[in-house]
Amino acid sequence: MANTILVGAQWGDEGKGKIIDVLTEQADVVVRTQGGNNAGHTVYIGKKKYVLHLIPSGILRKKKTCVIGNGVVVDPIGLVSEIEGLRKLGIKVNGNLFVSETAHVVFPYHRELDAQREVLKGKNKIGTTKRGIGPAYGDKAARVGLRVIDLVNTERFEDKLATKIKENNEVLKAFGAKPLSFKQVYAAYREAGDYLKPFVTNTVIFLHEALRRGDDVLFEGAQGTFLDIDHGTYPYVTSSNTTSGGACTGSGVAPNRMDRVVGVLKAYTTRVGEGPLPTENAEIADMLHAMGREFGATTGRARRCGWFDSVATRHATMVNGIDDLAVTNIDGLDTVETIKVCIGYRDGKKKYDYMPNDVEVLARCEPVYAEFPGWRTPTHNARSWKQLPPKCREYLKAIAELTEAKLFIASVGPGREQTIFV
- What residues make contact with ligand IMP under the rule CB under 6 A? 12-13, 38-40, 126-129, 131, 133-134, 222-223, 227, 238-239, 272-273
Q: Which of 28, 41, 104, 231 is catalytic?
A: 41
Q: In 11-63, where does DSSP find H-type helix?
A: 16-24
CB of 38 to ligand IMP, least distance (A): 4
Q: How far is the CB of 320 from ligand IMP (least distance, A)?
A: 16
Shortest separation between residue 135's beta carbon and ligand IMP, angstroms? 9
Number of H helices, E strands in the chain: 13, 20
Catalytic residue list contains 315: no
Q: Which is nearer to Mg ion, 40 or 69 (CB)?
A: 40
What does 270 bind: ligand IMP, Mg ion, none (CB cut-off 5 to 8 Å by kind)?
none
Q: How far apart are CA 216 and CA 156, in angstroms?
A: 37
CA distance from start to end of the chain: 16
Q: Report whether 379 contacts 330 (CB < 8 A).
A: yes
Residue 391 exposure: Cα atoms within 13 Å on the Cβ side: 17
Of these, 8, 15, 35, 40, which contacts Mg ion (CB under 5 A)?
40
Contact yes or no for 12/243 (Cβ under 8 A): no
Of 270, 377, 219, nearest to 15 (Cα)?
270
Q: Considering CB distances under 5 to 8 angstroms, the limit depending on partner class, which of ligand IMP, Mg ion, none binds residue 245?
A: none
Q: Which of residues 161-200 bind Mg ion (CB under 5 A)?
A: none
- Partner from Mg ion, ligand IMP, none contacting 223, C-beta within 5 to 8 A by type: ligand IMP
Name which position in 297, 305, 326, 336 contacts Mg ion (CB under 5 A). 297
CB of 17 to ligand IMP, least distance (A): 10
- Whether 110 is a known active-site residue: answer no
Minimum distance between the CB of residue 173 and Mg ion, rounded to whole angstroms? 34
Residue range at the interface with Mg ion (CB under 5 A); choices 33-41, 281-289, 355-363, 380-388: 33-41
Q: Which stretch binds Mg ion (CB under 5 A): 8-16, 97-105, 170-178, 359-367?
A: 8-16
Residue 96's binding partner out of ligand IMP, Mg ion, none, with CB under 5 to 8 Å set by partner kind = none
- Rg (C-alpha) for the chain, rounded Å, is 21
Is the separation of the CB atoms in 91 and 60 below 8 Å?
yes
Work out whether 272 is an interface residue with Mg ion (CB under 5 A): no
Phi, then psi, of 338 in degrees rounded to 5: -125, 125
Closer residue to Mg ion in complex, CB, 39/410: 39
Quote the CA–CA distance of 156 and 147 in Å, as a whole number: 12
- Residues in 13-32 at the binding interface with Mg ion, rule: CB under 5 A: 13
**DSSP SS3 for 283:** helix
Q: How far is the CB of 40 from ligand IMP (least distance, A)?
A: 5
HEC string of 57-85 equals HHHHCCCCEEEECCCEEECHHHHHHHHHH
Q: What is the dihedral of CA 86, 90, 92, 93, to 10 degrees?
A: 20
CB nearer ligand IMP, residue 3 or residue 38:
38
- Which of these ranges, 86-94, 140-148, 260-268, 293-301, lies near Mg ion under the rule CB under 5 A? 293-301
- From 55, 52, 61, select the one nearest 27 (Cα to Cα): 61
For ligand IMP, the closer of residues 3 and 239 by Cβ is 239
Inter-residue contact 35 to 73 (CB < 8 Å): yes
What's the CA gap between 321 and 405, in Å, rounded?
Answer: 9
- Residue 272 interacts with, from Mg ion, ligand IMP, none (CB under 5-8 Å by kind): ligand IMP
What is the Cα–Cα distance from 62 to 74, expressed in whole angstroms?
24
CB 333 within 8 A of CB 388: no
Which residue, 67 or 264, is less far from ligand IMP as judged by CB?
A: 264
Q: Compute the least distance from the CB of residue 13 to ligand IMP, in Å.
A: 5
140 binds, among ligand IMP, Mg ion, none (CB under 5 to 8 A by kind): none
Q: Which residues bind to Mg ion, rule: CB under 5 A?
A: 13, 40, 297
- Residues that are catalytic: 13, 41
